[in-house]
Chains A and B, each alone.
Chain A
Amino acid sequence: MTYAIECRQLTKTWPGNPPVEAVRGIDLAVDQGTCFGVLGPNGAGKTTTIEICEGLLEATSGEALILGRSWKTHPDEIREQIGLSLQETRLSEKLTVLETLTLFRSFYRDGLDPMEAIAKVSLQEKTNARIKSLSGGQKQRVAVATALVGNPKLLFLDEPTTGLDPQSRRDLWRIITEFREAGGTVLLTTHYMDEAERLCDRVAIFDRGKILAIDSPQKLIADLGAEHMVVFTVSGSMDPADDFGAGLPGVIGVRRESEHRCLSVREPHIAIPSLLALINQQGLQLTSLTTRQATLEDVFVHYAGHGLNDESEGARR
């Protein structure tokens, strides 16, 4: 079976002084019928990569094959089979939901009835409402409906839930899940780790225009060798060193996030007693202690060496 998306040594360099290398050699393959997540901080090259796959940008070198076809030779066929929503599209506020979807439907040879697309995003009662009167979450659902109305095999969603309230995010997750369950392929970018863990079969972790790791979320977390995080704060006469706690039994890694200290541990029941002993021994007071499951966030920090919310150094154009 051909891949839904296959990128080979994709690069994109924006001309300038100095030139900005937004994407620096990306290889990835997405199986049909799966959901693939592109994860990373702002400026990691996520949007540039997805827009090359959508045929909106031309790669500086390398190639993106969509459903086995090349953008260079079959652009019209590809466009008939994909649906997309951009990071930020403000659809015309003066048109109604139905008018907007009818317009988009007219661009495709085959597709859904506009009402069917509206039903897929549960906006039936807003059918004749103008876009202007919709909430942010509803507007985003209309944007996704415009991507669905051509009955695509492959859906591209660039940060579909950024800025939405929790309920709207869950609504969109449901839409994406239903699309996938019906056999569709999804490529989405996000900087929410929980979203990727929940929706994606596989994720690629992007930083500075490169892929740091690519696998299923579970596998990536398991590969850390430590599935638990121990997060604590201490106070005392002096601030302990940044690598406080390294070398304790069962501790795989140590990092500091402002006053919080995080230990990646394999077995909390061994690591925690020895941590408490060390704190006592150094005359410090433990002021808080929690444990949690390791997440993709921890995977990201492990590979990138910096937090997800730090801007990536590969600046956006």
Chain B
Amino acid sequence: MSQSWTMQPLFQLFLARFREFIRTPEAVFWSYVFPLVMMIALGLAFRSEPVEAVAVTIQNGDLSEATQKLLADNKAVKVTSGSEDDCRRMLRAGQTELIVVVTGTAEKPSYEFRYDPTRPGSVHARNTVNDALERASGRKDLLTTSDKAIQEPGSRYIDFLVPGLIGMGLMGGGVWGVGYAIVDMRIRQVLKRFLGTPMKKHHFVAAMMASRMVFMIPEIIVILLLARVMFGVTNNGSYFSVGVIVLLGAIEFASIGLMIASRARTLEAVAGLMNLTMVPMWIGSGIFFSASRFPDLVQPLIKILPLTPVIASLRHVMQEGATMVQILPNIGIMLAWAVGTFVVALKVFRWD
């Protein structure tokens, strides 16, 4: 029989793995759909909107209606009125930010602002109302000022979130996709059965890694595309840099998955090891919030977690347009993890 390239063991091992994957709908769902659902949900929840008008309540009195008229045209405030008790209740419940009590006469009114100075919304309301009332009473501005809205690309939460989700997808896909599959094959004695054939061990390992690389490509493309279409997330750096980071991240986590699975003989054991590996990174590597919020003491540790450099360099490139040279230190950390875990995995790997 002819030894065409389709009969190469590496290709056949890859093909077998690929078929197993696409014939397991739940694996496809968790790899492809879950990160998207997460992105859409979080993207909608934390979308950036213009600051809403602040709620202000005027306590009922002789001059309350006149005051309400003064503020009626001001779009920055939403004015209501109520009795003293109503006002207090609304302030407590967060339904209003500021109570305005007007005393004095129509010619010379006196305003008292009641609010909690620790609430940023209340402080903002106080200044806005104060300003509006002053102007309505004829204050002239002495300086020439003008407002110009600036929306920096890459500065919204969704811009921050997408690189985090890509990193999370790379980690989960590599650790689960490689780790779980290998332990499953060990339990089914398939690894041992392969050992009884002339199959080259490096072909098997290479096929597992390669299949992971291929599964990851549509996953990342779909996230990036949808992020762009739905939320206008753009890449301010080069796609080449993003590609390099993603590829290296995928290799890194496939290696880590290989190492986690290198000896485990039960699914419980490997699931425990996977959680032990991934939970610190879910929390510490800055998927959903910046890793710099952790105390300085643990920063060195957080910086060398396998996921941290992936997400950090993706953000650096996508949000700030960093070049490859600028992300080299992070590339170095990723390479070290990829090579280190791969070597250890091959050394301790158990076939039966």
Stretch at the interface among B5-13, B89-97, B172-180, B318-326: B5-13
Which residue of A is nearest B7, CB measured? A106
A282 within 8 A of B: no
- Of A88, A92, A102, A107, the residue contacting B199 (CB under 8 A) is A107
What's the Cα separation between A200 and B159 when bound, in Å?
Answer: 72
A residues 77-118 near B (Cβ < 8 Å) are: 79-80, 82, 84, 86, 88-92, 94-95, 99, 102-109, 111, 113
What's the Cα separation between A146 and B197 when bound, in Å?
Answer: 10
Stretch at the interface among B16-24, B61-69, B254-262: B16-24
B300 within 8 A of A: no
- Of B16, B19, B20, B192, the residue contacting A86 (CB under 8 A) is B192
What's the Cα separation between A107 and B193 when bound, in Å?
Answer: 12
Which chain A positions have C-beta within 8 A of B11?
A: 106
- Of B190, B192, B198, the residue contacting A76 (CB under 8 A) is B198
Q: Is the CB–CB distance between A90 and B188 below 8 Å?
A: yes
Which residue of A is nearest B22, CB measured? A94
> What is the 8 Å Cβ interface bit string for chain B, positions 172-205, against chain A (1 contact, 0 not)?
0000000000000100111011111111000000
Q: Is the CB–CB distance between A80 and B198 below 8 Å?
A: yes
Q: Is the CB–CB distance between A92 and B190 below 8 Å?
A: yes
- Of B13, B24, B196, the residue contacting A55 (CB under 8 A) is B196
Q: Is the CB–CB distance between B197 and A104 below 8 Å?
A: yes
Which chain A positions have C-beta within 8 A of B24?
A: 94
Q: Is the CB–CB distance between B19 and A99 below 8 Å?
A: yes
Count A-side interface residues using an 8 Å CB cutoff. 29
Which chain B positions have C-beta within 8 A of A6?
A: none
A108-B19 contact, Cβ under 8 Å, with A86-B189, A94-B24, A103-B12: no
- Of A86, A88, A105, A150, the residue contacting B7 (CB under 8 A) is A105
Which residue of B is nearest A91, CB measured? B190
Count of inter-chain pairs, beta carbons less than 8 A: 74
A56 within 8 A of B: yes
Min C-beta distance of B207 to chain A, whole Å: 10
Which chain A positions have C-beta within 8 A of B1?
A: 105, 111, 113
Q: Is the CB–CB distance between A89 and B198 below 8 Å?
A: no
A89-B190 contact, Cβ under 8 Å, with A109-B198, A150-B197: yes
Q: Is the CB–CB distance between A103 and B23 below 8 Å?
A: no
What's the Cα separation between A172 and B16 when bound, in Å?
Answer: 27
Which chain A positions have C-beta within 8 A of B189?
A: 86, 88-90
- Of A88, A94, A107, the residue contacting B198 (CB under 8 A) is A107
Min C-beta distance of B265 to chain A, whole Å: 13
What's the Cα separation between A300 and B8 when bound, in Å?
Answer: 47
A54 within 8 A of B: yes
What's the Cα separation between A69 and B239 when bound, in Å?
Answer: 55
Which chain A positions have C-beta within 8 A of B19?
A: 94-95, 99
What's the Cα separation between A30 and B161 when bound, in Å?
Answer: 67
What's the Cα separation between A82 and B15 when bound, in Å?
Answer: 25
Min C-beta distance of A15 to chain B, whole Å: 15
What's the Cα separation between A56 and B185 when bound, in Å?
Answer: 16
Which residue of A is nearest B351, CB measured? A56
Interface centre among B1, B9, B11, B196 (most CB of A within 10 A): B196
Interface centre among B13, B23, B192, B198 (most CB of A within 10 A): B198
Interface centre among A94, A104, A107 (most CB of B within 10 A): A107
Q: Is the CB–CB distance between B196 and A92 below 8 Å?
A: no
A102-B12 contact, Cβ under 8 Å, with A56-B352, A90-B189, A95-B19: yes
Interface centre among A56, A80, A150 (most CB of B within 10 A): A56
> What is the 8 Å Cβ interface bit string for chain A, positions 220-252, against chain B (1 contact, 0 not)?
000000000000000000000000000000000
What's the Cα separation between A84 and B192 when bound, in Å?
Answer: 11
Which chain B positions have C-beta within 8 A of A94?
A: 19-20, 23-24
Q: Is the CB–CB distance between B190 and A108 below 8 Å?
A: no
Q: Is the CB–CB distance between B9 and A95 below 8 Å?
A: no
Q: Is the CB–CB distance between A56 and B195 below 8 Å?
A: yes
Which residue of B is nearest A113, CB measured? B1
- Of A86, A95, A105, A111, the residue contacting B196 (CB under 8 A) is A86
Q: Is the CB–CB distance between B198 and A108 below 8 Å?
A: yes
Which residue of A is nearest B204, CB measured? A107
Which residue of A is nearest B17, CB measured? A92
- Of B8, B16, B23, B196, the residue contacting A56 (CB under 8 A) is B196
Min C-beta distance of B191 to chain A, whole Å: 10
- Of B188, B190, B196, the residue contacting A79 (CB under 8 A) is B196
What's the Cα separation between A92 and B16 when bound, in Å?
Answer: 9
Query: Which residues from chain B sit less than 8 Å from chain A, CB to CB?
Result: 1, 7-9, 11-13, 15-16, 19-20, 23-24, 185, 188-190, 192-199, 352
Please list the 6 inter-chain residue pairs (A to B) with the smallest Cβ-Cβ separation, ordered nearest first: A106-B12, A90-B188, A107-B199, A79-B198, A94-B23, A107-B197
Contacts A/B (CB < 8 Å), 25 sampled: A54-B196, A55-B196, A56-B195, A56-B352, A82-B196, A84-B193, A86-B189, A89-B188, A89-B193, A90-B189, A91-B188, A92-B16, A94-B23, A94-B24, A95-B16, A99-B19, A103-B12, A104-B197, A106-B7, A106-B11, A106-B12, A107-B198, A108-B198, A109-B198, A146-B193
Other A-B pairs beyond A90-B188, A91-B193, A103-B12, 14, CB < 8 Å:
A55-B196, A80-B198, A84-B196, A89-B188, A89-B193, A94-B20, A94-B24, A95-B20, A99-B15, A103-B15, A105-B7, A106-B9, A107-B9, A107-B194
